Structure 1
């Protein structure tokens, strides 16, 4: 035997109930999947459209895939051998658990479903079949039962050859599975052989037995494989695909939390995989044979409903969490219910809740589809197909018959295929949109860079022209105000009837000094005041010595002044030169001290002397030197202070840390 069917070696046991050891049994897992799988909106919707556009072949492919898989599952499930090999009316009797007859033997018509009272009483149905075999048929004969509930024990000529029972705690398919038993040649004999089949079910479940086929093993095995694929292999593949897609959609939802449909679809698929995975431990309940995982289907359909709301772009409401109240209440009652009747009632209530939730999902999708939401239309088509098979399985649960075959899980594979296609289409469309956006952005960036480069070139050329113009105007003003005035005075003195060589020489020296200051100001000192003052010292030191003055250089290191350019340097040097000139002319001093130091307000440049003259004091000079010094200080944004004491005169220039 295969899958959740357990086969035990042949052993002589009483003809009554079997001993299943410590293995648990319970109500089979309820699998009523209904996962819609189309996101809310497309990433690459055309301009002017808020919804995704799907071609007609995509919708046709979806419908064809669902119909094809549904028909395949149905054909495989109901595919049976030729009736000539079927045993339809064996001689059967109902027995007590101790093997004593409960009712007289009579012939039953297969397929057969035992009365509910027999299961409650714990009766075992024992059927006897006499089959004649020739010597050639002793090898390669097999017995095939398409479906049964819950356990069958098979004996040939009085010897037990197989025991098959559904492992209900991990019955992943909510379906009966086939039984295929090759009959050992050692227990067969030529002539009439007696095959006895004992059938029983758990309390609360009705025992059922499909037709029995006895014939050539090679001829019966393909039918077993087909039935096994439809009832076991395909649902198992669906469980694996659901788990893989749940992980993929969870990653997508993590990356795009606003796309709620990814999160809800992941939750629904994960719950379905948990119910169907053989890796999940078995959890039963006290006083109940049913596994706790049965109730997960209510949570799964709740997640499906929320997924459909996201696909239909239904507005988010504060009361959305109320959808979780019914499955939560059912879970608590199911987990802590003390009686079998309570558990049965919860299971049937869960079926009703699933039916209502799927109908609500279809209604939500239908309204969205009518409004033109093509994603909702595609999901609606798949969910409607799946819903039809869910309704069929519901009917078989409520009114069980002898041939219980559940197809919703198999059809669910087609639904997953449709989901995968739609997600791939959305991903491809999103990647195309991203590529197109990337190309457009690259083109725009390149165009913007070219425009910026052109604008920057034009702006730089304009600024250079403006800077040159400003510097030319400044030089013209400096030459006119300083050097020009001295040259005019020299020319007037030279052309006078009585030239005065001393005055001409004084103006010549003044013009030379001013020209040197202008030249010094044109050098780039990088905002370093010390370099500026050092250059001035080299040129002023000989002049001071010629005037009989000693220079005390107390210049200290000060911070670099931001914005110190040629115009600012020239103003500083002219203030310094004017102060020194006044000392030479009017102070009657012997020592000149130049010092710098840094304060919280800025850098200070101080020029002091030890003279007794009064011409350097404000208001004592008839010239404009001190007024020009104050004008230049204001232009620098600095503060000029001139003080007179018994020790001499002190000129203090407080420079800002940054020039405008």
Structure 2
């Protein structure tokens, strides 16, 4: 236990070191890439005139305010968001300049149009009401030294901001192209390229997380993390998109709401990821987010910026502080390193966000590099790795459950197979015992009874050898019937009758009775069995024996066919003769009674009739 705690403390120290290095690296890289050109290339003194004139020559005489760049307050004091900066180019710059020059503006809001000595140099895009947004874009304009006079050169910069508070201009630098261009390119990487790469990374990881959510819908923290990243990426669009297809007011509303709801989504994600949270607090934060979002419906740019940056972001920051202390409390209880990683990530995001908020409100230099989007690198790296690790852990748990389930199923299957084999063996033994008992009963009732009768009658002086022979033949015939019932297909009536024909044919020949065979194929009898086959054989045997002994017939007809009766189809076995017929009192004789009993045992209908002409007919219906 002591070793484990020591290992955890060591891991925490390592992570703290990693996070500290990340903060230092971001600050160092941001401010080092935020490099300015040499001091001897700057132009910082001049005048500001509040005017919406389209060109320098159309500027009317008005109040001129002396300014020193960077200028963050003049437009705000005059309560204007459009005007002209008139900047004399110091003559001392000219001797040091080469043929190819560059005019560099590192920071501005929102767009500018530049003239040198009334000659147009260029702009940062549209300068109309939907001016291109260059707030986070450095601008560079190239010119030849020939465009400059020997002395008395003047820069005219037409500026148009979103609001008076956002209408500002940094220092302007005029120098050699080779000196200015590398500095501009560094700024472009810092403020544009890097932001685009981070935004693409946010979108890709968000989509990847959305896939996790589709695969595991019950784990909703995947959805909230996806939403947080997508909203953050939406906010970051403001940092590099110059042109939008709708008004500045709506664009400002979308981006400021996006960063706020991104933080709220992160809070809801953390609640669900850590599991232990107050559901009432969770719902309250969501409802407060909806409530604080309603004032944005009033689409006035002054109101949106005031409410968004003074009220909405204050609410969001308060929510961020809450979740910070929520994770801190959770970590104190659980000492979970996962919570610590998220806690430190949230702290860095909060720290960078406060830095950017100070820059936006001009409490620190507006030219300061924004840091919040750098925290996205840390968040994506840390939280995405945690989500992937949890997803893999869940998969392992599911796989473990599946393996256990397979093992249990296999074990149960083996048990069932063993039980089935035992049951099958018992059933086979039971069937064998039942069949043995049936055969013993059949032998006892048939051949046993005949042999017993013959044995008892041997001592009788009236019994002849022929009688004994006939009795023994009958017993032997009965034994053969029992054996025949065990062979062949007991479900096929025609097969049963064919076997019987072979056994009783000699009896008919001795009695000089002609056999007419009209047997045709009949449907198979399901689950008929050897016992029922023997009963059919004995019924037909009894009928033939009666014909031979009592009818005096010369012709015996055995036929099979199908008969429709009351909407049902029956299979019929018929035994008919042309003898003297059956007297009425004979239908109650022992032989007929036995035939009826056997017919009942096999669920068949037994009928015996004696036509008026002559002969008798016995029918079995199945």
Q: TM-score, normalised by structure 2?
A: 0.78
Higher helix share: 2
Gaps of 5+ in 2: 1-6, 54-58
Taking the TM superposition and a 5 Å limit, the aligned residue runs for 1:638-657 are: 638-644=603-609, 653=620, 655=622
Name the residue aligned to 1:485.
Answer: 449
Match of 2:347 in 1: 384
Alignment of 1:118-517 (within 5 A): 118-120=78-80, 122-130=82-90, 132-133=92-93, 137-139=97-99, 142-156=102-116, 159-164=119-124, 176-181=136-141, 184-187=144-147, 199-213=159-173, 217-218=177-178, 220-276=180-236, 282-285=244-247, 290=252, 292=254, 294-313=256-275, 334=296, 337=298, 339-344=300-305, 347-348=308-309, 349-359=311-321, 361-362=323-324, 365-366=327-328, 368-369=330-331, 372=334, 377-399=340-362, 401-433=365-397, 436=400, 460-494=424-458, 499-517=463-481
User: 1:212, 1:339 → 2: CA distance?
Assistant: 32
Give the 3-state SS of the residue equivalent to 2:523 in structure 1. Answer: coil
Structure 1 range deviating more: 250-259 or 344-353: 344-353
The secondary structure found in structure 2 opposite 1:387 is helix
Q: RCO higher in 1 or 2 (8 Å CA, sep ≥ 6)?
A: 1
CA separation in 1, counterparts of 2:137 and 2:318?
29
What is the match of residue 56 of structure 2? none
Quote the Cα distance in structure 2 between the aligned partners of 1:500 and 1:200: 144
Deviation at 1:380, TM superposition (A): 3.8
Equivalents in 2 of 1:532, 1:279: separation in Å?
Answer: 95
CA distance in 2, matches of 1:469, 1:382: 80
**Offset of 1:130 from its aligned partner?**
0.9
Question: Root-mean-square deviation (CA), in Å?
Answer: 4.5
Which of 488, 501, 525 pairs up with 1:537?
A: 501
For residues 58 and 334 of structure 1, the distance between their equivalents in structure 2, rounded to whole angstroms, comes to: 45
Alignment match, 2:4: none
C-alpha distance 88-182 of structure 1, shift in aligned 2 (>3 A): closer
Instruction: Provide TM-score, normalisation by structure 1.
Output: 0.74
- Which residue of the other structure, out of 70, 76, 89, is the alignment partner of 2:29? 76
Shift in Å at residue 474 of structure 1?
3.1
Partner of 2:85: helix, strand, or coil? Answer: strand
State the secondary structure of the residue aligned to 1:482.
helix
How many angstroms does 1:500 deviate by? 1.5
Q: Choose which of 93, 100, 104 in structure 1 pairs with 2:47.
A: 93
How many residues are matched? 596
Q: Per-residue deviation at 1:415?
A: 0.7
1:339-371: CA deviation from partner (whole Å, max 9, x where unpaired): 444444553444344335444544655555555
> Does the CA-based 8 Å contact 1:238-1:413 persist in structure 2?
yes
